[in-house]
Amino acid sequence: MTATYAIIETGGQQHKVSAGQKVDVAHMGIAQGEDVELSKVLLVADGKDTLIGSPTVNGAKVIATSLGEIKGDKIIVFRYKNKVRYRRKTGHRQLYTRLQIKEIVKPTSKPHKEKVAGGDS
């Protein structure tokens, strides 16, 4: 049996998630232990059905719990200009929010296919 997964968009990035997975997303500013509902679901797939949104799947959502903030790897920025003794060394650590995916909620109703007038002969 294939596990259900979804592709979500948060913080300008897309992430492939499934239930029980931990994922690091751009800093969201939510407290540890708080639930968050991610509604920008671009695709939902299980073993037999695949729902592709245009751009998002209406009614689909991913429910996750915040595990707190974490910091990414340190990035060193070194600016240098030759012949003028200009040197600046700075660092940066990006903040992320770690999420535990609880469940993927599929849309309840399926879209109705409209009949085209005059299409049947």
Q: Which residues 6+ apart lie within 8 Å of 9 measured at CB? A: 15, 40, 42, 56
Q: In this predicted structure, what is the pLDDT of residue 121?
A: 47
Q: In this predicted structure, what is the pLDDT of residue 109?
A: 59
Measure the CA–CA gap between 23 and 101, rounded to whole angstroms: 8
Q: In this predicted structure, what is the pLDDT of residue 110?
A: 58
**Global pTM?**
0.78
Distances in Å between the Cα of 36 and the Cα atoms of 29, 39, 65, 103 are 11, 10, 6, 11
| Tokens found for residue 41 | 């679901």
Q: What is the pLDDT along the chain (121 residues), one digit of tens a residue?
A: 568 999 999 999 999 999 999 999 999 999 999 999 999 999 999 888 899 999 999 999 999 999 999 999 999 999 999 999 999 999 999 999 999 999 999 987 555 555 555 555 4
Q: In this predicted structure, what is the pLDDT of residue 115?
A: 52
